[in-house]
Amino acid sequence: MKWLELLSVAGATLVAAVTVVVLYALGVRLTAIAGDAQQPSPKLKRSLAYSCFGLCGVAVLFGLYLIIPYFSKP
């Protein structure tokens, strides 16, 4: 068995999972901050939150692209 390749895949999976979770959590936090009435620029924070959600969705779609064999046919 090729242990180095197994560790490489495990590391990439861990990094990808942490990235998706952090992006989602940051989006939720920015949405909560933007809902506060005392903030000076809620539209900027809300747009940053939506961009975090968008990046999270792109990461999930890219993962599906890598997993589903139909998309990798030549």
Q: Count of domains in the chain?
A: 1
**CA-atom Rg of the chain in angstroms:** 17
pTM score, whole prediction = 0.81
Q: Which domain holds residue 16?
A: 3-72
- The answer to whether residue 7 scores a pLDDT higher than 90 is yes
pLDDT reported for residue 37: 67
pLDDT (0 to 100) of residue 59: 93
Per-residue pLDDT tens digits for 20-68:
999 999 999 999 998 876 777 888 899 999 999 999 999 999 989 988 9
